[in-house]
């Protein structure tokens, strides 16, 4: 796991080694073990290494091909690299290292962009072709590893993180359209960032920059496709295949020349992963993050899952570590968090930083359960709301779009953003939402099709946001996170798995407010125990039944209570300060009124408050 960064001058101006060093120094946290720089006239690329496979200098990067024509800078892990190595050796390639890096390099030389379809893993990498003067960039199918780029037709800059690009002489302007997008969805669905002209290479895409033609071309090589397989296979048959694929996925991701640990919450996903990993890896180290619930109420009383995690650690005989977060831990870490995260994304992410910080004290690699919910229907209340009484694509979009307006609804966008409204009035967040489905051929005739399209949407947007957060905050602590649920074969299986094996009650009228789970969700689970049905059945083999069939609970702190309790002064210090930078973009009076609704208990606006605090810190640091 590493950090990459580079510059290509369209004007064919010399690139300095110092310029590249500044870039990789800014992302040293991604790779504290080694650094490397390659500069050739008008092209330069750098690399920061976190040594995981082949710890010797033979795996040093940037890696140059035997014929000196190709230069690779790579971030990621290819879990099937040993099989690909055998295939390449049969074609005459000779290897000088035991790393997956050399396999990536030779795979590109042999198969060019077709190599991407052979890789089972997570990656973001660049390859410079000296003879053809062409730069190739690629990102993995799901977006586990980030890759950003900037193009002003004078120079093309790319890096694992935006802060590396910001070391170069570029205009550091905020993208107002993205501000509007984020404060609608609490996420960014497009390829934009908060920095104008810095974009993210989308998952499942590759990019060529041709210096001779002064062209930049982006191509999509893979996309999600959820559908109900037309088959007479039994549930037992699907269950058997799932069990085989899941175990193989976990085992594949245990390849390492350094110690591996695992996150262990009180849930199905991390519990099942830990169970299998602990068999292959005796005395596995596990990590749990809990919360001080002394002031919590309602469903927040269930947010601390340490007891369940400790029980599973006892069963799996792991070496277990845990930490407890209090309200002031959020206040303390927010500036540092915003620096590493670079821009706000989904959810209240500071617990992710703390748990990765804890794990990094003991291991360099950790397994995570991210992806299980999005692939197997872990949020059934989201799908039911839009799967009933619909018969057209437009009606589906209308309903689902309203559901995903998580922060500021359209009806008050003009008032909230009055200081910048003239610059964003042309923005249609509904069109942004609708464009996520541009590759989908809608068949709007069954609840199953509606739900499959909703699963597609969440994998493209919500999961992608989670993966960006996970990467940035784990790498901030020089920790590699692996996600076994995003094994290629397991994802292919999950996409074709009939909806009825994921969700039970397709005709449910259950409607839940994502912003405030409340007691309704608790009653819902006690009554139906829905979502991830086949995964729950498989998990029964590995974890206690009380956990595999327990309530769904995300990794979340009791911020709703804290914001109007222990952290109220911190919230007021920023939101009630007319000098806060957020008010260069938002109307102070309206924002205060929205926040007051939370502080008085009238509404739950925990997501909005978190987003405002995060946005303010980002503005202080980067603008």
For residues 439 and 171, give the distance between their C-alpha atoms in angstroms, rounded to a whole number. Answer: 33
DSSP label at residue 582: G
Question: Rounded to the nearest 5°, which phi and psi values hold at 127?
Answer: -130, 125
Q: Would the CA dihedral through 72, 78, 82, 84 be positive or negative?
A: negative
The CA distance from 74 to 175, in Å, is 29
2 is catalytic: yes
Which stretches within 224-364 are classed as H helix?
Answer: 235-252, 268-280, 306-316, 327-341, 350-360
As a dihedral over the C-alpha atoms of residue 381, residue 382, residue 385, residue 390, rounded to 10 degrees, the angle is -130
> How far apart (Å, rounded) are the C-alpha atoms in residues 417 and 591?
10
Strand 70-78 relative to strand 121-129: parallel, antiparallel, unpaired?
Answer: antiparallel
Beta bridge partners of 223: none
Q: In this structure, are residues 353 and 614 in contact, taking their beta carbons and an 8 Å threshold? A: no
The Cα 148–Cα 193 span in angstroms is 9
Q: What token pair was written down for 105? A: 């390099």
Cα 356-31-144 angle, rounded to 5 deg: 60
In the sheet with 148-151, reading across from the earlier edge strand, the strands are 34-40, 43-49, 2-9, 155-159, 148-151, 198-200
Vertex 357: Cα angle to 355 and 358 (nearest 5): 65
Cβ 579 vs Cβ 554: under 8 Å: no
Q: Which residues, other chains included, contact 389 with Cβ-Cβ below 8 Å and sequence gap of 6+?
A: none
Q: Which of 2, 115, 180, 289 is catalytic?
A: 2
CA-CA distance, 140 to 204, in Å (whole number)? 5
CA 410 – CA 405 distance, rounded (Å) = 8
CA distance 410 to 184: 8
Q: Which residues pair with 44 in a beta bridge?
A: 7, 39
DSSP string covering 93-110: ---SSSSHHHHHHHHHHH
The 3-state secondary structure of 380-448 reads HHHHHCCCCCCCCHHHHHHHHHHHCCCCCCHHHHHHHCHHHHHHHCCCCHHHHHHHCCCCCCCCCCCHH
Site of tokens 């795996």? 59
Tokens of 99: 């790393």
DSSP class of residue 156 equals: E
Using CA atoms, how far apart are residues 499 and 501, in angstroms rounded to an integer? 5
Catalytic residue numbers read 2
């Amino acid at each position: 796991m590493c950090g990459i960064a580079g510059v290509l001058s369209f004007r064919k101006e010399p690139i300095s080694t110092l310029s590249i060093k500044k870039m990789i120094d800014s992302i040293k946290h991604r790779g504290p073990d080694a650094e490397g720089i390659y500069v050739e006239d008008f092209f330069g690329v750098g690399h920061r290494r976190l040594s995981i496979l082949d710890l010797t200098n033979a795996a040093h990067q940037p890696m140059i091909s035997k014929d000196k024509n190709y230069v690779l800078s790579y971030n990621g892990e290819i879990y099937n690299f040993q099989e690909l190595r055998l295939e390449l050796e049969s074609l005459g390639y000779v290897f000088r290292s035991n790393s997956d890096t050399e396999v990536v390099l030779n795979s590109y030389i042999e198969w060019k962009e077709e190599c991407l379809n052979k890789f089972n893993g997570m990656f973001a990498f660049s390859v410079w072709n000296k003879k053809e003067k062409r730069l190739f960039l690629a990102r993995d199918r799901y977006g586990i590893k980030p890759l950003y780029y900037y193009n002003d037709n004078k120079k093309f800059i790319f890096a694992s993180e935006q802060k590396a690009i910001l070391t170069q002489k570029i205009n550091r302007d905020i993208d107002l359209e993205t501000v509007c997008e984020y404060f609608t969805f609490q996420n960014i669905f497009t390829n934009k960032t908060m920095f104008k002209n810095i974009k993210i290479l989308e998952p499942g895409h590759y990019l060529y920059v041709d210096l001779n033609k002064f062209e930049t071309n982006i191509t999509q090589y893979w996309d999600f496709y959820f559908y109900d397989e037309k088959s007479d296979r039994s549930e037992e048959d699907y269950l058997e295949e799932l069990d085989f694929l899941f175990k193989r996925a976990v085992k594949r991701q245990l390849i390492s020349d350094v110690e591996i640990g695992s996150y262990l919450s009180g849930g199905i996903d991390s519990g099942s992963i830990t169970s299998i990993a602990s068999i292959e890896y005796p005395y596995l180290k596990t990590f749990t993050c809990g919360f001080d619930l002394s002031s919590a109420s309602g469903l927040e009383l269930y947010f601390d899952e340490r007891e369940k995690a400790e029980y599973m650690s006892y069963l799996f005989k792991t070496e277990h570590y845990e930490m407890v977060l209090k309200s002031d831990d959020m206040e303390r870490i927010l500036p540092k968090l915003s620096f590493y995260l670079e821009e706000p994304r989904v959810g209240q992410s500071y617990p992710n930083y703390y748990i990765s910080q804890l794990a990094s004290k003991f291991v360099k690699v950790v397994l995570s359960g991210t992806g299980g919910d999005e692939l197997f229907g872990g949020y059934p209340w989201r799908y039911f709301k839009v799967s009933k009484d619909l018969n057209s694509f437009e009606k589906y979009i209308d309903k689902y779009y309203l559901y995903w307006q998580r922060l500021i609804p359209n009806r008050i966008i003009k008032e909230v953003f009055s200081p910048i409204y003239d610059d964003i009035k042309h923005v249609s967040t509904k069109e942004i939402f609708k464009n996520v489905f541009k590759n989908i051929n809608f068949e709007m005739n069954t609840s199953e099709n509606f739900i499959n399209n909703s699963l597609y949407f969440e994998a493209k947007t919500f999961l992608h946001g989670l993966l960006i957060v996970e990467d940035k905050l784990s790498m901030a602590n020089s920790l590699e996170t692996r996600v076994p649920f995003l094994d290629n074969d397991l994802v292919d299986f999950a996409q074709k798995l009939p909806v009825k094996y994921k969700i039970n009650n397709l005709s449910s009228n259950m409607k839940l407010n994502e912003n405030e789970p409340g007691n309704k969700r608790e009653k819902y689970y006690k009554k139906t125990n829905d979502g991830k049905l086949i995964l729950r059945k498989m998990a029964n083999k590995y974890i206690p039944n009380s956990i595999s069939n327990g309530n769904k609970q995300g990794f979340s702190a009791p911020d709703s209570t804290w914001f109007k309790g222990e952290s109220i002064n911190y919230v007021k210090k920023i939101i009630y300060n007319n000098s806060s930078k957020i008010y260069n973009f938002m109307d102070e009076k309206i924002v205060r009124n929205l926040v007051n609704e939370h502080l008085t208990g009238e509404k739950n606006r925990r997501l909005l408050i978190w987003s405002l605090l995060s946005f303010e810190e980002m503005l202080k640091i980067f603008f």
